[in-house]
Amino acid sequence: KQSPRWIKLLASFIIRENEPIQTFVIPHSHMDVGWVYTIQESMHAYAANVYTSVTEELSKDADRRFIAVEQEFFRLWWDTVATDLHKKQVRQLVKEGRLEFIIGGQVMHDEAVTDLDDEILQMTEGHGFLYETFGVRPQFSWHVDPFGASATTPVLFALAGFNAHLISRIDYDLKDTMQKNKKLQFVWRGSPSLKEKQQIFTHTMDQFSYCTPSHLPFSNRYSGFYWNGVALFPDPPKNGVYPNMSLPVTKETVQAYAKTMVENIKQRAAWFRTNHVLWPWGCDKQFYNSSVQFNNMDPLMKYINQNSKEFGVTVQYATLSEYFQAIHQSNLVWEPRGSEDFLPYSTEPHQAWTGFYASRNVLKGVARQASSQLHAAETLFTRYRVRFPDGPVTKDWALDKLRALRWAVSEVQHHDGITGTESPKVADMYLQHLVQATMGVEELLAALILRYQRKGVHQPLEQHVIIYNPLAWNTTTIVNVTVSFPIAAVFDDDGQPVPAQMAAQSNVSYDLFIVVELGGLQHRKYLIKSSEKKCSGRKCGWIYEAKGVLFERRNIWDSMKTGRRLLPVINECYKLMFDQDTNLLHSITYLQEQRRVLVTQDFWEYHANGDTKAGPISDNYIFSANGSAVRAYEAVEMEIIPGKIMTEIRQHFYRWVQGPDYTYSITTRVPECFGSRLRCHRLEQTYSLGPLRLNTEVVLRTSSSLRNNRTLYTDDNGYQMMERRYRKFNNNTLARNYFPMVRAAYIEDELSRLVLVSDRAHGVSSQANGQLEVMLHRRLWNNLPWSLGYNLTLNDSSVVRPTLWMMLGSISVTSKLYQREAIELQHRPVIMPIDHSPVRSVVLPPNLHLLSLSIPGWNYSSDHDVHLSQDLHSEPDFDRVLLRIMHLFEEGEDPELSKPVTINLKDALQGIGEVKELEERSLTGTWDITRLQRWNWKTAENLKTNHKSCSGGGDEAFTVTISPKEIRTFFVHFASRNFWAYPSSVKTDNH
């Protein structure tokens, strides 16, 4: 006997058989914010023309549609190209829903190597502009080109209020299976802790991806349904005739075009459960001459609809929301998908896109540093504005500095930016934008803390520095200041000596390591007194001069016997043993449990093939090893610099035994315990790598006695950890077992866990039992004509200096530590050589992280109805503070720290000021959470999304509960006050 559910299902198939396939033709242009050409070149060659011509063409015909994806190009067009008429037309088109903004971020961000903070930033930057300008809020994604799909992205999109998510690039063999089984659409629960609360319907594009078929036998080669041809650089042709324009639609050609289009529609329809087909019309750099496009597609679609009974197909121009509305109204029950992601990504057996995890190490590092600097400046400016609303730092000047860095950090998150898959000139453009904007923010930081400027005082041996903690946690840490003299003493703002240690860096400069204790969001002043001569007595402060012990260079081929002469380096957490026969690390004992783990670290190289005739190649995107890794050195030199604050071990790896210069190095800092917080568990390592030989990919290999069965754990965008089991493939097993490491990776067995946290993204793998292998640097060249034509060969001759922090211990101990350590590495204290005023600290519970504290400067009203009815050109709002708080732990990860946290934000933020109003918002701030009603997609469990919000009066209005892995976003208004007073002699020209 059939159940009612099966009867309904059978009926739906019968109905579908008798109905024509409803085709949603979605016009779009994929515009990379970078890649081969700079943003300026793209704007000049085609991008500006896309929005000019699309606006004009949509205004001519009410049936036409277009989706706008990357906001950086649209905003540049809106601000620098669009006429008043264009702006009026756009507002009308947006109001009618015929021009639809999709994703709404500045870029279509990469999903493998981007950090959570930066994904949120670039979305917020775009969403704020769109809501401010048009009163619209994107509700759908179009992630068609990132190289693999993370499970964090759908969570963030759900938190931003999206109703559906769209992806495309997933493993070729997996996509093929999903197509055959009609499983390209599902409900994704990207977070194992949030589960159904932030589930989102996800559509996977079929094998044709986001472009329409291009191989048409009756038209120009590779032109397909793109009648406007191929964009030209550097200048568009003055006569409007572009190369490779497709044959126009005429009486003679319309039937051939219609037959091809219908066949493709039917082929796609067979892979989905409903009779609605998404037919993306567009591709890279299309629609710059959209009159040609629409004037050919219009008659073609008219012809198909006139013959719809014969074809069994209807076609209509559509936006993405119109397609998803039709799917939603089909009322089907969808299969849920858990928190697994779609990484890594492969396009064919020998093409694993795992190389870009490590491409352009310098760019990845600068982008992360700029993001950290932005976070520090945002929190400091917010504190300043609340305390000194009429202070001498001009608010508009400050906002301009912040916005420049917001823009620079946002644009580099593009899937051909932070990935390192762009041409050298585009990489230089990203770096230039990041460095220039960072310098502007450094000016702002100096101005915010400046209270007075000393005049007529020249004391080269005295230096004041301000050290600012940008995190809402108390911290005890060691900072490094470079000084010019070999002797120095350090004093805090109370005149008390501070523990410090000096070590020679070169003949003219010295590393001064200072132990600092800082409250959350607090800065303190330190005085460094230098001397050319040694002094004695209390006036010298508490200073240790560290001197090194150099060990002779060891030839690895002579070191067949190892472990005979072990040298210990001990702090309160660890005993590290170094082998004097090899000058390599031998073992680590974590003293709390007296467990010894054999650990060795060294460098290995994969040699890549650069000749396409000789086999698969490695390039910016792809990692295709030419065999197993080989040892990257013949000899190792070691120097140990013992100290009372930290002991430093410097290991230099020489390519040849008698080589004059080392190619690789590891500097390991083993800290002692200071202050109230145990911090000896963190082994801070910095590396120097390069220049590499051509077609070399270098890895740091950490080999241990842990029995992890080649299973490792890596983070998805710094948000959540993913289990990565080693898998065997018919081809390219080595490369397909590499995964992105954005902030953290670890291996473990039943007793111990070995953790690495990083200051930038890398590729990581466990190729053998107990092994954690991190790809740090790549230098590649190949003779593929495509690569040579676009200069995409990654001939990166730079020397790179990434940082990893290593921890070893039991699973329970490391679970409490590694996420905070990753954030502390990312947001290290900011050092500024100026004076300051004291401030109160702001401290959150240990399982909560202050993700954002900023003044966006948006001018829109928090009330949507009021915003839509008011003038959209009001002044920036400097009193509205954007606050985000994130719970760091997963459900069940720790007995205490995984519990939900109830916090009174009025109490928590009193170190900044008195909170008067608190309003919960969506992730990017554009929705009042009480008005956000996301679509409910049916699953077998039929679970519904629920939102908690702030409500009520009195203290209840400020009390919120944050559950594991939740990110909650608020608008905060503080009570007005102004404590500003400063000497009349202070210069405030620019500030």
Q: Residue 26 pLDDT more than 60?
A: yes
> HSE-up of 387 (CA within 13 Å, CB side)?
20
Find, among 366, 374, 523, the residue nearest to 440 by Cα: 374
Contact 36, 792 (CB under 8 A): yes
What are the structure tokens assigned to 909, written together? 């933020």
Find, among 518, 737, 523, the residue nearest to 623 by Cα: 737
553: β partners = none
Contact 787, 336 (CB under 8 A): no
**How buried is 208 (Cβ within 10 angstroms: 0-12 exposed, 13-18 middle, 19+ buried)?**
middle
Give 556's DSSP letter.
G
Instruction: Tell me what pLDDT residue 459 has.
Output: 53
Give 673's DSSP letter.
P
Instruction: Tell me what pLDDT residue 589 has.
Output: 98
pLDDT, tens digit, for every residue of 721-770? 999 999 999 889 999 999 999 999 999 999 999 999 999 999 999 999 99
- For the chain, give percent helix, strand, coil, nearest 5: 25, 25, 45
Lowest-confidence pick of 261-275, 444-458, 685-699: 444-458
Model-level pTM? Answer: 0.94
> Which single residue is written with the structure tokens 């197909």?
313
Distance CA 562, CA 636 (A): 14
Instruction: Tell me what pLDDT residue 493 has.
Output: 87
Question: Any residues with CB less than 8 A from the CB of 204 and at least 6 apart, and which?
Answer: 166, 167, 168, 170, 175, 178, 184, 185
pLDDT, tens digit, for every residue of 300-312? 999 999 999 999 9
Instruction: Tell me what pLDDT residue 677 has.
Output: 61
Residue 204 sits at φ, ψ, to 5 deg, of -100, 125
Question: Any residues with CB less than 8 A from the CB of 41 and at least 6 apart, and which?
Answer: 233, 234
Q: Residue 814 pLDDT more than 50?
A: yes
Task: Give one DSSP letter per residue of 258-310, joined into a string.
Answer: HHHHHHHHHHHHTTSSSSEEEEEE--BT--TTHHHHHHHHHHHHHHHHHTHHH
pLDDT, tens digit, for every residue of 358-382? 999 999 999 999 999 999 999 999 9
> Which single residue is written with the structure tokens 């007529």?
456
> Which single residue is written with the structure tokens 């660890």?
574
Residue 21 sits at φ, ψ, to 5 deg, of -75, 125
Greater confidence, 536 or 661? 661
Instruction: Tell me what pLDDT residue 558 has.
Output: 75
pLDDT, tens digit, for every residue of 904-919? 999 999 999 999 999 9
Q: Residue 2 pLDDT more than 60?
A: no
Q: Residue 10 pLDDT more than 60?
A: no
Sheet arrangement for strand 276-281 = 276-281, 21-27, 313-317
Name the maximum alpha-carbon separation found in the chain. Answer: 99
Distance CA 30, CA 24 (A): 18
Q: Residue 951 pLDDT more than 90?
A: no
Cα 876 to the chain's mean position, in Å?
27
Mean residue pLDDT across the chain: 91
Find, among 886, 827, 880, the residue nearest to 376 by Cα: 827
What are the structure tokens assigned to 104, written together? 């709404």
In one letter, which amino acid is 922?
S
Instruction: Tell me what pLDDT residue 221 has.
Output: 66
Instruction: Tell me what pLDDT residue 451 has.
Output: 47
pLDDT, tens digit, for every residue of 862-875? 999 999 987 666 78
For the chain, what percent of residues have pLDDT higher than 90? 82
Cα 96 to the chain's mean position, in Å?
34
What are the structure tokens assigned to 712, written together? 């490792």
Contact 756, 782 (CB under 8 A): no
Q: Residue 206 pLDDT more than 90?
A: yes
pLDDT-based confidence at 563, cuts 50/70/90?
confident
Question: Any residues with CB less than 8 A from the CB of 124 and at least 6 apart, and which?
Answer: 856, 882, 923, 924, 925
> Which single residue is written with the structure tokens 């058989």?
17
Q: Of the ranges 558-572, 709-723, 832-846, which is most confident?
A: 709-723
Distance CA 442, CA 463 (A): 18
Contact 578, 585 (CB under 8 A): yes
Find, among 602, 596, 543, the residue nearest to 570 by Cα: 596
What are the structure tokens assigned to 475, written together? 């911290």
Q: Report the pLDDT averaged over residues 802-814.
A: 97
Question: Any residues with CB less than 8 A from the CB of 91 and at least 6 apart, and which?
Answer: 134
Angle at 526 between CA 524 and CA 528, to 5 degrees: 165
Instruction: Tell me what pLDDT residue 332 has.
Output: 96
Distance CA 445, CA 437 (A): 12
Task: Give one DSSP letter per residue of 746-815, joined into a string.
Answer: EEE-SS-EEEEEESS-EEEE--STTEEEEEEEEE-----HHHHHHT-S------B--EEEEEEE-HHHHH
918: β partners = 972
Q: Residue 542 pLDDT more than 50?
A: yes
pLDDT, tens digit, for every residue of 210-257? 998 888 888 876 678 999 999 999 999 998 899 989 999 999 999 999
For the chain, what percent of residues have pLDDT higher than 70? 91
Question: Any residues with CB less than 8 A from the CB of 474 and at least 6 apart, and which?
Answer: 517, 518, 519, 520, 676, 677, 841, 843
* Rg of the chain over all Cα atoms, to the nearest angstrom: 30
Give 707's DSSP letter.
-
Distance CA 497, CA 932 (A): 54
Contact 479, 466 (CB under 8 A): no
The CB density around residue 460, as the number of other CB atoms within 10 Å, is 8
Q: Rounded to 10 degrees, what is the CA torsion of 283, 288, 291, 297?
A: 0
Q: Report the pLDDT averaged over residues 670-677.
A: 76
List 110, 145, 171, 579, catalytic entry: 145
Contact 62, 93 (CB under 8 A): no
pLDDT-based confidence at 458, cuts 50/70/90?
very low
pLDDT-based confidence at 947, cuts 50/70/90?
very low
Instruction: Convert 929-948 to b/e letters by CB count within 10 Å (16 or more is b).
Output: beebebeebebeeebebebe
Beta strands 646-654 and 664-671 are antiparallel
Contact 21, 265 (CB under 8 A): yes
Strand ranges, E, within 913-982: 915-921, 959-962, 967-974
Q: Residue 7 pLDDT more than 60?
A: no
Task: Give one DSSP letter per residue of 94-158, joined into a string.
Answer: HHHTSEEE-S-SSS-B-SSS--HHHHHHHHHHHHHHHHHHHS----B--B-SSSSB-SHHHHHHH
> Which single residue is written with the structure tokens 């009648």?
227
Distance CA 737, CA 710 (A): 10
Instruction: Tell me what pLDDT residue 224 has.
Output: 82
Known catalytic membership, residue 145: yes
568 φψ region: left (φ > 0), alpha (ψ -120 to 50), beta (else): beta
Q: Report the pLDDT averaged over residues 140-164.
A: 98
Contact 987, 455 (CB under 8 A): no
Strand ranges, E, within 556-711: 566-570, 574-579, 584-590, 595-607, 630-631, 635-641, 646-654, 664-671, 683-689, 696-704
Q: Report the pLDDT averaged over residues 489-517.
A: 87
